[in-house]
Copies of this chain bind each other. A is one copy, B any other.
């Protein structure tokens, strides 16, 4: 089948506008570790996909999946050791006071649970988020998507400007003053909910502000935000869907950003492609949520999810992937920062571990976002065999987020392609 034929059939079967990456979409047929292969047999280094965290087609995960599906896969209203063991293993990775977990099938479902848990526990309805976030696609969670700061058109959600140092809300401020300024905006959002009568249930935030473009966060902001949230009677919800599972070289993004959440949402990498997500909290919070909602999820907390979820943890631990991410990620970031001297379009290089954003600008002084050039760069890198994407508020950040099995030799090959690309766009 030609690409044109496949695209025409896809257009009919999935509807026009089902999202596709790249100017010339890739027809992918096989994956292996960090590699993806297209229908012509061409090899690509996958530097985008966080879901297959232990590598495409990881054999340990495949075997766990096969074994469990050929043994048992039912819902959670029977007793089953696997689902308890997986929940125990997961909560141990967070540590006290997080000790219980509600398992679900997608980040969206897990955020739904988190928001409801906060609302049940506080008796209040209002949620605060940043003004450039995305936490999921349901009606309740979708209300949080890119809601302009201060906007009260949504009765139970307020946003505040996400904290950053690259385009700060106060020019010329010290880092401490900047943190104060963002905290003041957070405080306004909380008060707006309180004054409206909806009340304040909690703040949800990606621990490393991934969809905001991985900004450098003014020092101390996150810990002080968590204090402010609790002082206002709310709960601090960490969205670790992108930030967690060793992505940053730490187990959890909140370690990087220096705060402790009350409720933790995980998702994407948990099942290496099997739909699997979780909302974790203290037992008291989970018990109250269960008592008030009688939550049940047909496909979740299944023996299959448990077996695959444990296999992913096995590989991360056995293969030392957290350390790999820390080492390879730090070296890659350093090498990209060094490219800034020769590439005036690199406005900023940010990130943690194997999650790096290169912000592309038209003008280094004015920091004007250059989305067009970003798209060009992403497509050039793809033509050279390296798959990235563009993200961030202005869609002008090259997003590098490979499987955790991305090694030094892949980083070196990428840097060579990067230099070729940089040479091309300079000439």
Contacts and interface: CB of A to CB of B under 8 A. Distances in A.
A61 B56 contact: no
Interface string A100-142: 1111011111001001100000000000000000000111100
Interface stretch (A1-9, A184-192, A330-338): A1-9
A181 to B, nearest CB: 32
Contacts of A100: 12-15
Nearest to A29: B72
A101 B12 CA distance: 9
B84 A6 contact: yes
A27 B31 CA distance: 37
B25 A78 contact: yes
A405 interface: no
B273 A73 contact: yes
Nearest to A64: B69
B138 A138 contact: yes
A274 B298 CA distance: 10
Given A28-B80, A62-B69, 4 more contacts: A31-B71, A51-B75, A56-B73, A66-B66
5 contacts: A17-B291, A20-B78, A29-B80, A106-B297, A267-B298
Contacts of A88: 9, 12-13
Interface stretch (A168-176, A299-307, A321-329, A362-370): A299-307
A83 interface: yes
A70 interface: yes
Interface stretch (A223-231, A282-290, A390-398): A282-290
Interface of A: 1, 3, 6-7, 9-10, 12-21, 25-31, 36, 49, 51-52, 56-57, 59, 61-62, 65-66, 69-81, 83-84, 87-88, 91, 99-103, 105-109, 112, 115-116, 137-140, 267-268, 272-275, 283, 286-287, 289-291, 293-302, 304
B296 A19 contact: yes
Contacts of A91: 13
A103 B16 CA distance: 14
A80 B31 CA distance: 12
A52 to B, nearest CB: 7
**Most chain B CB neighbours (cut-off 10 Å) among A14, A51, A301:** A14
Nearest to A82: B29
A94 to B, nearest CB: 12
Given A49-B74, A59-B70, A84 B13 contact: yes
Given A81-B6, A84-B13, A304-B274, A106 B29 contact: no
